[in-house]
Amino acid sequence: MAQFDLTSRNCQFLDRHLTFPLLEFLCDKNIYSKEVLLEYILDTVGKTNMIDYTMDTRKRLNLGEQMPEELAQRRAKVLTKLKELQNEIAPLMKIVEDLKNTDSMKDSKTLLNVLQKEFNFKIEMLDSVYKLAKYLYECGNYVDSISYLYFCLLVMQPTDKNYLNVLWGKLAAEILTLNWSSALEDLNRLREYIDNSNFTNVQALQQRTWLIHWSVLVFFNHAKGRDLIIDMFLYKPLYLNAIQTMCPHILRYLATAVIINRTHRNALKDLIKVIQQESYTYRDPITEFLEHLYVNFDFESARMKLHECQTVIINDFFIIGCLAEFDEAECWIVNLIRNARLDAKIDSKLGHVVMGTPPLSPYQQLVEKIDSLCVRSETLTGLVERKYRAKNNDSGDNNWKYYS
């Protein structure tokens, strides 16, 4: 199963905090050593300010119940720094709290004008708000971080140096708190910003590649995600290009979405083209399943791939929730046979497809015999011509060009 695991590829394009759910998910599987995974988690969480998570991971590795002195000192420093940042913006937050239930908070431009005219607000103060939001996020306090990031988005202009970071930070925090409706709003806002910014081609490609991976987390948890992932990944050329260029493994998730989506059946044809184009760079049981069905019409191979597909889904953090819907793929085979008018049926007891050949009418038999005779005549005529040319060739060279 390790050969089909995409965790390491996906984690390359995720924020450090977003990797923890994936790694914890793997700890309950038998794909890799649990101890190795926990050691990796411990190393990764050590780069954050999540002291409690660090201690919990140490305990799971049997490294002791007592907090090491070094970790205790880190905790004290984190708390001190957090208090400093909170005190720094306390007056501003008091003003915002007083304005919370007024009309000023309903419109960002109005709020900014009120803050500047009545409270001597300076845009530079947003730097402190952003620092606190980021620090809270690093501590794993995603809920409070969202509050400050939301305020930043209300007041901050898109030209602000921290604006893009705020967009990414809020999306990550919403994902980690499982607020899928808000996460989708942030995803759309971030995509619009990326698509309309003056990034270089390389920068834009990198931004879209990251967004693609983060959006998979949202799409497979939001009620409308099964439609949205198809629209974005398959029908927005800039994002399809990013997938083909940087991360063809994302085709697993696009293929899964198409398979379980009952309203985008026409997307199959377009998806198959992409899968065929990228088959030399990426293949897995799910993409191969579709190839067997819709390219090779090899129903027996498709049936055999179904078990592998189920194994892949069970062990993939992004799409494990799709297993029940994917298991309805047998109905696809039935519909395909009906639509193609093939003489085949599914043996429900044996669990496989039985193909048959319909008898030809006398007229069809006659036509096939005539076609066969024509082909054989052309072949014999060509053979005679080649022998004649070979006999009359004075140079004696090998006549390979006549066989090309």
pLDDT beyond 80 at 131: yes
Q: What is the pLDDT of residue 337?
A: 58
Q: How far apart are CA 41 and CA 194, in angstroms?
A: 31
Q: How far apart are CA 237 and CA 233, in angstroms?
A: 8
Domain count across the chain: 1
Q: What is the pLDDT of residue 348?
A: 46
**Per the domain annotation, does 301 fall within a domain?**
yes
3-state secondary structure of 129: helix
**Per the domain annotation, does 255 fall within a domain?**
yes
pLDDT beyond 80 at 363: no
Which of left, alpha, beta for 282 (phi over 0: left; psi -120 to 50: alpha)?
A: beta
**DSSP tag of 403:** G
Task: Check: CB of residue 368 under 8 Å from CB of residue 360.
Answer: yes
What confidence tens digit (pLDDT) does each residue in 240-293 have? Answer: 999 999 999 999 999 999 998 877 778 999 999 999 999 999 999 999 999 988
**Per the domain annotation, does 364 fall within a domain?**
no
- The fraction of the chain above a pLDDT of 90, given in percent, is 60
**What letter represents residue 240's amino acid?**
L
- pTM, full prediction: 0.81
**Per the domain annotation, does 245 fall within a domain?**
yes
**Per the domain annotation, does 81 fall within a domain?**
no
Q: Could you tell me whether strands 352-355 and 344-347 are parallel, antiparallel, or unpaired per DSSP bridges?
A: antiparallel
pLDDT beyond 90 at 231: yes
**Per the domain annotation, does 273 fall within a domain?**
yes
Confidence label for 398 from pLDDT (cuts 50, 70 and 90):
very low
Q: How far apart are CA 309 and CA 286, in angstroms?
A: 5
Q: What is the DSSP string of 229-292?
A: HHHHHHH-HHHHHHHHHH-GGGHHHHHHHHHH-SS-TTHHHHHHHHHHHTTTT---HHHHHHHH
What confidence tens digit (pLDDT) does each residue in 151-165 have? Answer: 999 888 899 999 999
For 176, the enclosing helix (H) or strand (E) is helix 163-176
Confidence label for 376 from pLDDT (cuts 50, 70 and 90):
low
Task: Check: CB of residue 136 under 8 Å from CB of residue 112.
Answer: no
Q: What is the pLDDT of residue 377?
A: 62
Tokens of 365: 């038999």
Q: What is the pLDDT of residue 94?
A: 83
- Residue range(s) defining the domain that contains residue 239: 200-339
Q: How far apart are CA 55 and CA 74, in angstroms?
A: 12
194 strand-pairing partners: none
**Per the domain annotation, does 278 fall within a domain?**
yes
Tokens of 356: 């048959």
pLDDT beyond 70 at 385: no
What confidence tens digit (pLDDT) does each residue in 184-230 have? Answer: 999 999 999 999 999 999 999 999 999 999 999 999 999 999 999 99
Average pLDDT, the chain: 84
Q: What is the DSSP string of 294-345?
A: HTS--HHHHHHHHHHHHHHHHT-TTTGGGHHHHTTHHHHHHHHHHHHT-SEE
What confidence tens digit (pLDDT) does each residue in 78-107 have? Answer: 999 999 999 999 888 888 777 766 666 667
Could you tell me which residue, 380 or 135, shows the higher pLDDT? 135
**Per the domain annotation, does 40 fall within a domain?**
no
What confidence tens digit (pLDDT) does each residue in 313-352 have? Answer: 999 999 999 998 888 766 766 566 556 545 555 454 554 4
Q: What is the pLDDT of residue 401?
A: 28
- The distance from CA 63 to its chain's CA centroid, rounded to whole angstroms, is 35
Cα distance between the two ends of the chain: 45
Task: Check: CB of residue 332 under 8 Å from CB of residue 259.
Answer: yes
What confidence tens digit (pLDDT) does each residue in 165-180 have? Answer: 999 999 999 999 999 9
Task: Check: CB of residue 187 under 8 Å from CB of residue 180.
Answer: no
What confidence tens digit (pLDDT) does each residue in 33-61 have? Answer: 999 999 999 999 999 999 999 999 999 99
Q: How far apart are CA 136 and CA 113, in angstroms?
A: 28
Task: Quote the longest CA-to-CA distance of the chain.
Answer: 104
For 346, the enclosing helix (H) or strand (E) is strand 344-347
pLDDT beyond 50 at 134: yes
Q: How far apart are CA 323 and CA 346, in angstroms?
A: 21
